[in-house]
Structures are given as C-alpha cells and as structure tokens.
Amino acid sequence: MGCEGGRHLWTARFYRSGSLAFWFCQSCGETDREVEDLTELLEDISGFPDDYPTVVFHGERPEEPGGRWILPDGSVLRRLDPGSVEFRGHPLPGLKDSHRFVLEIAGTGETREYAPSFQRSSSTEDCFILTRYRVEKDRLVKYRIHCCDYDDGRPVRIDEPNGNTILSGLVPLE
C-alpha cells in the first residue's frame, strides 16, 4: 500500500481528549502507527467533506514535532504533537492551532506535560470543558473552552476560549 512517490495526504486523527491518536493518509489509507489497540475513544467525525480535520499536509512522513523555548530559569519547553482545535467537527473559535508541550525543569531532571484534555463540565452529560495549549509570542497560554452537544435538537454550543498565561519569558532556541 502507499501513494505514488510516497506523497501521502496526511491527516491528523485525534482522541476525544484532543491529543493526537495517529496520522492517516486520505489517499491510500496508510497510518503512521498501529491503530488496532488505541487507548481511548476517537473524536466523532461524520465523514462528510465539510468535516475534514484541521491538520492536513502532503509528504512522505507525518509532521515531526518541533519548537523549543528556554525560560529565564534555564528550563526548556518543547512543542510536541498537534492538538485538535475542533469539537465534534465544529472549529473552536479563535484557535487556529494547539499542541502538546513538555517542560524540562532546569536542574531537576523533572518534566511537566501540558496536553489537550476533555472533561465533563457538570452533571449535564453533554457539556464539557476542553483544554488546549499554544505558544503566543513569549508565553505558553492555556485555553479552556466550554462546549455542549445536546441530544434534544439544540445546536452544538461552543463558548469563546478563555486563555490564561501558564509560562512567560519564553525565548526561542535555534
């Protein structure tokens, strides 16, 4: 299996939490990893053309993580896999991208992960809080977005993201 010349149309498939599950080629169906034993549920996607994921590109291999920043205390922040910027096929307002990040804390050997998440927001079964992370200028910003997908015929509701700075003073590393 494969695309001619290895030019795949890679599409990110995400877990319900918003973390990257695997890369999938829309042309030939190849995946970048085994997908039989996925650890959690995938995001709901209807398969209609209007529901194409937001992370798609051509190439021989899926996109590699990249980007590193140093903090004033010497800690290093690394950008890893992309995160979803949709809720049940609907874009999150104002968020063009998000990623998973790992902070390597200077002098300790410890790390802290900042990963997309999805959690129930209340006793209401169909309302959730999504958490997403982005680097903006010299800051790591954590966004929380309240979303509801009602079963009673009401449209999906996605509130404006609420952003808070988690880390500041980031300086890009070459």
31 with 114, same domain: the answer is: no
- Beta-carbon contacts of residue 173 (< 8 Å; ≥ 6 apart): 68, 69, 70, 76
Query: How many structural domains is the chain composed of?
Result: 2
Predicted pLDDT at 54: 59
Q: Does one domain contain both 84 and 153?
A: yes
88 lies in the same domain as 121: yes
Query: Can you give the pLDDT at residue 46?
Result: 47
* Residue 166 pLDDT: 96
Q: What is the CA radius of gyration of the chain?
A: 17
Range of the domain at 83: 68-172
pLDDT tens digits, one per residue of 66-115: 899 999 999 999 999 999 998 888 889 999 899 999 999 999 989 999 99
Q: Which pLDDT value is given to residue 156? A: 85
Which stretches in the chain have pLDDT values below 50? 46-52
pLDDT the model gives residue 127: 86
Tokens of 13: 């498939």
Whether 44 and 123 share a structural domain:
no
**85 plus 109 within the same structural domain:** yes
The answer to whether residues 55 and 72 belong to one domain is no
Cβ atoms of 109 and 81 closer than 8 Å? no
Same domain, 159 and 114: yes
Residue 169 CA to residue 98 CA, distance in Å, equals 19
DSSP helix/strand/coil, 158 = strand
Please check whether residue 98 is in contact with residue 84, taking contact to mean a CB–CB distance below 8 angstroms. yes
Residue 121 sits at φ, ψ, to 5 deg, of -90, -20
pLDDT at site 139 = 97
Read off the amino acid at residue 26: Q
